[in-house]
Amino acid sequence: MGKIKYKAPGKCPVCGDELLVSRLTCNFCSTKLEGEFSTCKFCRLPAEQLKFIEVFIKCRGNIKDVEKELGISYPTVRNRLDAVIAALGYPVDTRVESDEITNKYRETLDALEKGEISATEAARRLKKD
């Protein structure tokens, strides 16, 4: 059988609502099923969010590693993660983000106070947030 060339869209290009799959075909034996099948939640995400999820999983959820891999800042990683969570239909708790940012500020200031980093490095870290 032939190689699959295209990813099926998960949302209607006209109205944006969920598309239903009406026919499934086995690539090996050519068995065909007809009916109304829903797609998975992940299938309905745009390519950009799927790529982000792939990197996030590859990095085992380590935000620092995601930052490095994608070349984006901590707040951008958090914003993209929140967008994916919301797109999957789950509520986004923004208090967690503010607590984590507060902790990051605290860690930076502690490192500066202990002489582990310079004032320039502390300023750079704080500006990233």
Encode pLDDT of 43-81 as tens digits: 888 889 999 999 999 999 999 999 999 999 888 999 999
The CA distance from 4 to 9, in Å, is 14
User: Domain segments of the chain: what residues?
Assistant: 7-44, 46-128
Looking at CATH, the fold of the domain delimited by 46-128 is given as: Arc Repressor Mutant, subunit A (1.10.10)
Encode pLDDT of 90-110 as tens digits: 998 766 556 667 777 878 888
pTM of this structure = 0.58
